[in-house]
Structure 1
Amino acid sequence: MKNKWFYPLLILSTVFSVVAHFLLANESVKFIASCLSLLLWAALLGKSTESVAHYAGERLGGLLNATFGNAAELIIAIFLIKAGLFDMVKASITGSVIGNLLLVLGLSLLVGGMKFKMQHFNPILAGHNASLMMLSVIALFIPAVFISDLTPSDINTLSLIMAGLLIIGYLLWLYFSLFTHKKELSEEYFLASQTDQSAAVPIKQEEDKEEPSWSRNISLLLLIVSTAFVAVQSEWLVHSVESVAKALGWSEIFVGAFLIAIIGNAAEHSAAIFLAVKNRIGAAVEIAIGSSLQIALFVAPALVFISLLFGSQMNLVFTPHEIAAIAVSALIASSISRDGSTNWYEGVLLLIVYVILGAAFFVL
């Protein structure tokens, strides 16, 4: 981080959060303190993963960025499961998916498009991402359709089967994209295949030469430290979120789908937008869409198995409102990204849909 104010603010927010958690009784103050500290640590997490991604390469770097960017959501979800707040877990999963597809991707396309008239990325990868988004919608839709004809035990069994299949499907996708078809899905292969070398290409190549802020070892150290602090702040956030939601009159689904999701997505917000501004839109799209796919196809199914460790299984039955929100988000994100080119107006369209869904969940 080159901003001189960032580290002092990070230290002050962390101290404030520690004092609020151990010495104050007001849950609202605890919640605000945890949110501020979590946002800053998530920003450092995003920057450190971006630096690690530089050393790991574009595709693997995007995966690492999405994975560690999702660390906040996963940690928050585990503590919510421990507290028995399954509905809020599902809402936060919904919020993470639509937040990445609409808010993170929308802001990236908008900010990047304001600097570069057209930005291009690998359309082959975009097509596969669109198919995987449809798979995530199908996986959430099927249990909701059959729930009326199944017993609670059958629902839990079906959830375990589907969770296992989704995890296998996601792991095979990683093998497909990082090994057997790594070349075809890479940004370099896409650029080399273009016969019309637009002005964006040399700009991109020039930006790619920019050195990261830290060395590889420092980047890894900051990655580990920021992940640990994100975990601590996430646990404190969960302890106060329920009472704050009741005090404000907000529903659990709105708090989980938007408030917690926005806070948890801070790492993706910063990293994807920074990359889009540098005309590395392929990496930005990989973070935004790849993060949503990881949440839907790996994190959510993994939470089903993790819930067994706490003695009460979470199922994969989402509400019709949550399924509709994910389906709408996947549909427009797939439509916009499938051709492998973007502009600022497409970012505006994604953000409009996000605000529409936010308004609907708020009044629900």
Structure 2
Amino acid sequence: MRQKLFYSGIALFTAASALAHYFSHSAVLQFITTSIAIVLLAALLGRATENVAHYAGERVGGFLNATFGNAAELIIAIFLVKEGLFDMVKASITGSIIGNLLLVLGLSVLAGGLKFKTQRFNAYLAGHNSSMMMLAVIALFIPAVFLSALDHPRISTLSLIIAGLLIIAYVLWLLFSLVTHKAELSDPTTEHESQEKVWSRTVAFLVLIGATALVALTSEWLVHSVEQVSRSLGWSELFVGAFVIAIVGNAAEHSAAVFMALRNKIGASVEIAVGSSLQISLFVAPTLVFVSLFFGKTMDFVFTPFELASIAVAAFIASSISRDGSTNWFEGVLLVVVYLILGAAFFFI
């Protein structure tokens, strides 16, 4: 029954978003229907990825989960880049990072902590994740610090160099975590976990491809309406990108991480939240810099002081809470409170 409602909801809201896009002049209606459609399609994308991961193996499956978990955000961002909305792109990157580190991780820790007094995961992995987040913070700070001393062409060149180095660092991190040190970084709570096989290999891959294509299509519709919606509601591009678009793109990951924590799989929740933030900051954001080259204008890697402060705060508190390899419900409250504080600050900018 739930599955029928889920698939019916996908069909209904995808059709509604198409009708609103092509036949309605209401940007708000277009934005709402398309956002709901993307959330449902992202959930379908996540389920398809889990089924593909069953056949690909545990380590490759984990990488596929992280990659396609960010597919909706990446596709939305590519269309924003195509439209030249660089400020909104960087705001959405900021929102994805702080949303995963504060909201996703916070709700997971809170929900799991209310059911289990203390939850534990691999502290060695948490330490390396913290170091990688510090690398991301440093890489984002450098262009902003040197902005006043460099002209625009040199800032663009510096952005491309930093983007390339971050992608290399991320690829080496995958090699380190999935190959050379996979035993040390594995989490005992997620090892040998049985996964019910729902779809055949062919069906899983076809659904994965189809869901990705539909997310791409609806993401383009979302981008076409987002500027008008932000103007009509009086919201800044910074708030829309950092919170509205980021929450839409992250919806499937939010629910997955919370459900894993409720099953006492907090290690998997941390991997979803922190791993997704690492992929956004070390791979997705740098990739968007190179993608912008194909559209004729390079997006620089210079973030606003508000965005930099938010990312630094999120990385600091998430690192301090997760570094010891154990969590409780109050730590989840702290993370969510920081997220709400940042949300209020972004709203009033």
TM over 0.5: yes
Q: Which residue of 2 aligns with 1:293?
A: 278
Q: Which residue of 2 aligns with 1:238?
A: 223
Q: How does 1:212-251 map to 2 (within 5 A)?
A: 212-251=197-236
Moved more, 279-288 or 348-357: 279-288
The answer on whether the counterparts of 2:54 and 2:195 sit within 8 Å (CA) in structure 1 is no
State the Cα distance separating 1:62 from its structure 2 match: 3.0
State the Cα distance separating 1:272 from its structure 2 match: 1.6
* Alignment pair present for 1:116 and 2:101: no
> 1:145/1:288 Cα in 2 relative to 1: closer, same or farther (>3 Å)?
same
> 1:284/1:58 Cα in 2 relative to 1: closer, same or farther (>3 Å)?
farther
SS in 2 for 1:5: helix
SS in 2 for 1:223: helix
State the Cα distance separating 1:253 from its structure 2 match: 0.2
In the alignment, residue 79 of structure 2 is paired with which amino acid?
F
Q: TM-score, normalised by structure 1?
A: 0.92
In the alignment, residue 30 of structure 1 is paired with which amino acid?
Q
In the alignment, residue 261 of structure 1 is paired with which amino acid?
A
* Alignment pair present for 1:168 and 2:153: no
* Alignment pair present for 1:311 and 2:296: yes
State the Cα distance separating 1:321 from its structure 2 match: 0.3
* Alignment pair present for 1:75 and 2:75: yes
> 1:281/1:56 Cα in 2 relative to 1: closer, same or farther (>3 Å)?
farther
* Alignment pair present for 1:279 and 2:247: no
Q: TM-score, normalised by structure 2?
A: 0.95
The answer on whether the counterparts of 1:47 and 1:270 sit within 8 Å (CA) in structure 2 is no
Q: How does 1:74-223 map to 2 (within 5 A)?
A: 74-187=74-187, 191=188, 208-223=193-208
Could you tell me which runs of 5 or more consecutive residues in structure 1 were left unpaired when the two chains were aligned: 192-200
In the alignment, residue 259 of structure 2 is paired with which amino acid?
F
Cα distance in 1 for partners of 2:219, 2:127 equals 34
The answer on whether the counterparts of 1:59 and 1:283 sit within 8 Å (CA) in structure 2 is no
In the alignment, residue 15 of structure 2 is paired with which amino acid?
V
Residue by residue over 1:15-74, the C-alpha shift from the partner in whole angstroms, topping out at 9 and shown as x without a partner, is 111111111111111111111111111111222223334444554333221210111111
Moved more, 248-257 or 113-122: 113-122
Could you tell me which runs of 5 or more consecutive residues in structure 2 were left unpaired when the two chains were aligned: none
Residue by residue over 1:139-167, the C-alpha shift from the partner in whole angstroms, topping out at 9 and shown as x without a partner, is 00111111011111111111111111111
* Alignment pair present for 1:258 and 2:243: yes
* Alignment pair present for 1:338 and 2:323: yes
State the Cα distance separating 1:216 from its structure 2 match: 4.0
Cα distance in 1 for partners of 2:58, 2:252 equals 17
The answer on whether the counterparts of 1:62 and 1:286 sit within 8 Å (CA) in structure 2 is no
Residue by residue over 1:268-315, the C-alpha shift from the partner in whole angstroms, topping out at 9 and shown as x without a partner, is 112222222222221221111011000101111111111000000000
The answer on whether the counterparts of 1:106 and 1:351 sit within 8 Å (CA) in structure 2 is yes
Q: How does 1:41-52 map to 2 (within 5 A)?
A: 41-52=41-52
SS in 1 for 2:146: helix
Q: Which residue of 2 aligns with 1:355?
A: 340
Q: Which residue of 2 aligns with 1:328?
A: 313
Moved more, 132-141 or 109-118: 109-118
State the Cα distance separating 1:168 from its structure 2 match: 0.5
Runs of 4+ in 1 over 4 A off after TM superposition: 54-59
In the alignment, residue 19 of structure 2 is paired with which amino acid?
V
How many residues align structurally? 349
